[in-house]
Amino acid sequence: MGNRPEELRALIDSVTKQDGDPVEVVVVGNGSPVPDVPDGVRTVELPENLGIPGGRNVGTEAFGPSGREVDILLFLDDDGLLARDDTAELCREAFAADPRLGIVSFRIADPDTGETQRRHVPRLRASDPMRSSRVTTFLGGANAVRTRVFAEVGGLPDEFFYAHEETDLAWRALDAGWLIDYRSDMVLYHPTTAPSRHAVYHRMVARNRVWLARRNLPAPLVPVYLGVWMLLTLLRRPSRAALKAWFGGFREGWTTPCGPRRPMRWRTVWRLTRLGRPPVI
C-alpha cells in the first residue's frame, strides 16, 4: 500500500540474499506509488486499489500469462521478512520432490516472540504450529504457488477484494488434483496483528464466505456450511456494530454476483474430509 517503505526494503533484502539462484522480485503498488526499491526490482503501479487478490494477480501476470515465465511464485506481505536464507531452496526442493504439490503455506511468526498465532496455522488442529502437514487452504501473505496451478484453475478471485480468496483458489486447486502443504520450517516474520484491524473485516468476511460457498460447494452443502459459520460467529459474541456489519455482508453475499459457479466434485469433498477439514467448517 506504499506506507511501509522501511519494512518493504527489509523484505526485499531478505529475498535477494536467499541461497541458490537469484529470486526475481516484482513490487505492486496497489493504488499507491511504489517507494524506492533496489536496482533490478521491477515495479507495477496501479491507478486504483484492486484489493488483495487483484493486486496479487497483477503481480502474477508480471511474469507472463498465469506467471508462466517462472515455475514458482512467492507471495509475501510487504511488512514481512523471510526468517532464513534457505527458504527459496526449500521451496525448490519441495516442488521438485512432489510433482502434484501445487501450493506451500509458510509459517508466520512474530519477529520478537517467535510465536505463531493459531489463525495462521491453516488447519483445524492448530495447537502445534511446528508440525508440518498436508492442508486444505493456505496463508495469502506467505506462500509459494506452482504457476501451473494458475494456468489450470485460474488466479485469485478479484471480486473478493479481501478475505477468503486463498480458500477459493485452494478448493479449486484441490478439485483439480493438486496438493497443499503447510511447512513450519519456511518462516515469514510478521508482527502479531488482529484481522479486525481492517475496517471492512466483518462485512468482507461474511460476504465472501457466502460467495465462497456459492461458487465452490455442491448445492446440499451450501446451507450447512453457512449455517455452521453463522453459529460460530454468534458463539464468538462480537460487538453489536461488528454483528451488524457481519449480517450486512452475509445479506450482500446472497444478493450480489459471486462470479462463476464451479462446484467441487463429491470426491473432493471426501478428500477434504480425510485431510481433517470437511467443507462444512
pLDDT at 119: 93
CA atoms within 13 A on the CB side of 238: 18
Cα–Cα distance, 42 to 34 (Å, whole number):
10
The CA–CA distances, whole Å, from 102 to 180, 220, 258 equal 6, 28, 25
Q: What is the DSSP letter of 268?
A: H
CA 120 to chain centre: 11
Query: How much is the pTM?
Result: 0.96
The CA–CA distances, whole Å, from 17 to 7, 59, 182, 239, 266 equal 16, 21, 23, 45, 44
pLDDT at 2: 78
pLDDT at 199: 59
pLDDT at 193: 77
Q: At 234, is the secondary structure helix, strand, or coil?
A: helix
Sorted by sequence, the CB contacts under 8 Å of residue 223 that are 6+ apart come out as none
pLDDT at 205: 96
The CA–CA distances, whole Å, from 213 to 34, 53, 60, 137, 217 equal 35, 18, 25, 14, 5
Give residue-wise pLDDT tens across range 194-231: 775 555 899 999 999 999 999 999 999 999 999 999 99
Residues of the chain with pLDDT under 70: 196-199
User: What residue has cell string 466434485?
Assistant: 265
Cα–Cα distance, 231 to 250 (Å, whole number):
13
User: What residue has cell string 444478493?
Assistant: 255
Give residue-wise pLDDT tens across range 81-121: 999 999 999 999 999 999 999 999 999 999 999 999 999 99
